[in-house]
Structure 1
Amino acid sequence: MPPTIEIISCLHTATIVSNLDRSIEFYSGILGLQRVDRALKYPGAWYQIGEFQIHLIENVDLVPNSIDLQVSTRNPHIALGVRDLEAAKQQLLAANCVVKMSNSGRAALFTQDPDGNAIELTLISWQSEQL
């Protein structure tokens, strides 16, 4: 029997964007993520969330995703934990972002970045972080 791969952590996800400046405005400005330095020689932006990173990689020829969050929230997405889901919802609505509450009834919502990449924001209580 072949050896089992032992995955010990998730390091990053790479998301393709068509307009890096517009995406930075969303990820830094609206979501408030902390940008980190990167040394690669192509257009992109890296964001640190705990031990995890989101890598935005620019491709100006990208055809934006056509995910319709109003129809289904079962799409490829990045899931992020938040301390105050209602505050996150209000901030997204104030920025004219699409907001769809989770169909499951749990404390989560879905939104999209400017290229249509789906993002889930889930309420993470302080108690559950201590487990």
Structure 2
Amino acid sequence: MSDSALTDNLQVQSFDHITLVVKDLEASRKFYVDFLGMDHVPRPAFTFDGHWFQIGNQQIHLILEHDQSGRAGNANPEQNTRTHHFAFQVDDAKQAYAKAVEQGIPIVSPPKSRPDGATQTFLNDPDGHIIELCSLS
């Protein structure tokens, strides 16, 4: 099958959401809403507990760990910047780092410059998911 035939059949239009399994919905809500400033939005009436948060046109979906979900948290014990993570752009990664330290949020890596000139810092959410916060300066 040619490459053009593949793109004729399917074309991703946008990024929609990330789903994370968590142990404590309230601790996660505080992190994603109170620390990161996301909007807590209504969620359909699933048969399991969770929260949805809006970020521009995308969302984070949290599922409370239960007997039919995956395990909560980061399954990879490596806490470094070159393993599974996702990133959010913020106004000032250095300021976000300082706020995280002030609030006792676990830090994976302090601010550093990327080769493209952006600044990035890495931290953990309450379940150990690694999150990069990056800014253009």
If the length of structure 1 is used for normalisation, what is the TM-score?
A: 0.81
Amino acid at match of 2:36: L
Amino acid at match of 1:88: A
Alignment coverage as a number of residue pairs: 123
If the length of structure 2 is used for normalisation, what is the TM-score?
A: 0.78
CA distance in 2 between counterparts of 1:7 and 1:60 reads 31
Q: 5 Å matches for 1:34-113? A: 34-41=39-46, 42-60=48-66, 62=71, 64-65=73-74, 67-69=77-79, 72-99=80-107, 100-101=109-110, 105=114, 106-113=118-125
Task: Verify the 8 A CA contact 1:38 1:46 in the aligned structure 2.
Answer: yes
Amino acid at match of 1:117: H
Match of 2:6, SS state, is: coil
- Which structure 2 segments of 5+ residues have no match? none
CA distance in 2 between counterparts of 1:75 and 1:92 reads 20
Task: Verify the 8 A CA contact 1:17 1:23 in the aligned structure 2.
Answer: yes
User: How far 1:60 moved relative to its partner?
Assistant: 4.8
Aligned CA-pair RMSD: 2.1
Task: Verify the 8 A CA contact 2:22 2:65 in the aligned structure 1.
Answer: yes
- Which structure 1 segments of 5+ residues have no match? 126-131
CA distance in 2 between counterparts of 1:24 and 1:33 reads 9
Amino acid at match of 1:94: E
User: How far 1:63 moved relative to its partner?
Assistant: 5.1
